[in-house]
Amino acid sequence: NAGVMQNPRHLVRRRGQEARLRCSPMKGHSHVYWYRQLPEEGLKFMVYLQKENIIDESGMPKERFSAEFPKEGPSILRIQQVVRGDSAAYFCASSQFGGTNSEQYFGPGTRLTVT
Amino acid sequence: KQEVTQIPAALSVPEGENLVLNCSFTDSAIYNLQWFRQDPGKGLTSLLLIQSSQREQTSGRLNASLDKSSGRSTLYIAASQPGDSATYLCAVVNNNAGNMLTFGGGTRLMVKP
C-alpha cells in the first residue's frame, strides 16, 4: 500500500517561472492538505481540499498561489512567477475522512529552490 | 490564534537515556494532538495521535501524554537509541478550525552512541 506520493522531490526554478507540485494521496483517501516549511521555520498550513473542492485556503498567500484536486489525478499546488522567498519544502498530507479526528499522513515533500 | 511551542529546541543525550520532550499550546480547545518524527530532508512520520478525551497513548518505547486543560503534552522516549535521532514535532487540530494542523517548531534530538 503506497503512501502519499509527491513529485518532483526537488524542483529548481528561476525567478518568474511557474512551479507545479503534485501530490497523490494514499489509496482510499479523498482529503488532501498542503503545508509549507520555510528554512529554519516550522510547518505552516496552506490549504485543505477534497475532490473538486477547496475546503479551507486560509493559509494560502493571496497572490500567485493556487491549488486544485480534480476528480481524476493528483492534487496540484501551483506557484506562478516564483520569487526567492518561495524557496521551501512543500509537504502534502492526506486523510481518509474529513472529520477533525482523522489522522493525516504526510508525503516526502517537494523541495523548491528559486534561483 | 493557536500557538504551539516546543521546548527544548535541541537536545543531545547519550544512548540509553530516558528523555522527555515538551509541547505546549495556548488554546486548549483542541480536537487532538499528534506527535511526528522528521528525519533530515525527509517527510513526517506520525508517531502517536491523542484524542482530546484521552490522557495518553503508547507505542513501543514511546509514550505521549496530554493535559488539555493546562495546554501541555509530553513525549517520553525510553531507552533512547542513536536511531531515534531526528526532529520531533507536535501539532494540534483546533475546534472550529477545520482540519488543519498547527505545528510547533520542533525539538532536534541527537542520541550519541
The tens digit of pLDDT for each residue in B92-106 reads 998 776 788 999 999
CB burial string B63-95: b at 16+ within 10 A, e below: bbbbebeebebbbebeebeeebbbbbbbbbbbe
Chain B residues close to A99, C-beta within 8 Å: 99
Query: How far is the C-alpha of A29 from the C-alpha of B95, rounded, in Å?
Result: 22
- How many CB contacts within 8 angstroms connect chain A with chain B? 70
Residues of A in contact with B105 (CB under 8 A): 41-42
Of A10, A11, A19, A27, the C-alpha closest to A74 is A27
pLDDT of residue B95: 78
For B9-62, write each residue's pLDDT tens digit.
Answer: 999 999 999 999 999 999 999 989 999 999 988 889 999 999 999 999 999 999
SS3 (DSSP) at A49:
strand
Task: Determine which of A40, A45, A102, A103 to mutate to test the interface with B (most B C-beta atoms within 10 Å).
Answer: A45
Select the residue from B5, B7, B99 to test the A interface by mutation, using most A Cβ atoms within 10 A. Answer: B99
> Of the candidates B31, B45, B98, which has its C-beta nearest A101's C-beta?
B31
